[in-house]
Copies of this chain bind each other. A is one copy, B any other.
Amino acid sequence: MYDGIVQELIDELGRLPGVGPKSAQRIAFHILQTPSFDVSRLAKLLAEVRERVKFCERCGNVSEAELCAICRDPRRDQTLICVVEDAKDVSAIERTREFRGLYHVLGGAINPMAGVGPNELRIRELMTRLADGTVQEIILATNPNLEGEATAAYLSRLMGDMEIAVTRLASGLPVGGDLEYADEVTLGRAFAGRRSA
């Protein structure tokens, strides 16, 4: 335990995800003892970030404008929408540089145990985007877990009558992974999804 503000700061840092009491203490002392660390800049960003960041009105990605940078970019393929659970997934997919279409962030996945049903997700907004017939393909990129699969199945059924191709990201062995350490489900998927070599 420390005097006053140091302990308050450690407690507050410890509320951040992935920051335990030891890390919180290390961070607090780093801030105190490292003159080159610009703590006022971090304080200013934290104070402003919630006010300045909106979510894109169209796709739900993080954005400082009404539309995010991807939705504003006319070079992106407007006929293709990749549906993800979270804005963090947009960033992960962008890093692959494999995808040049648009996104739609659901804001989670169907999870009855946690009280998350289709109405809690941005599914109505997705259907609205499909109304004008521009979109040709929907890529369901929800997580390959129970909730993500349920959400993908639900969306796939919902779009069954539309003239839109609905695809799902491939499941299989991670590149660079070791077959020996793959779990059964992943290995099963890798067999089911095998391609001619």
Contacts and interface: CB of A to CB of B under 8 A. Distances in A.
Interface range on chain A: under 10, 10 to 19, 20 to 34, or 35 or more? 35 or more
A124 interface: no
Given A25-B88, A62-B2, A8 B45 contact: yes
Contacts of A4: 52, 64
A64 B5 contact: yes
A2 B15 CA distance: 24
Contacts of A88: 25-26, 29
Interface of A is mostly: helix
A38 B16 CA distance: 10
A175 interface: no
Interface string A24-44: 011111111000011111111
A87 B6 CA distance: 11
Nearest to A31: B49
A30 B38 CA distance: 22
A48 B17 CA distance: 23
A45 B3 contact: no
A57 interface: no
A165 interface: no
B50 A9 contact: no
B31 A39 contact: no
5 contacts: A3-B68, A5-B53, A16-B31, A19-B23, A32-B62
Given A13-B42, A32-B50, A43-B44, 7 more contacts: A2-B91, A3-B69, A5-B45, A29-B88, A32-B53, A43-B46, A44-B47
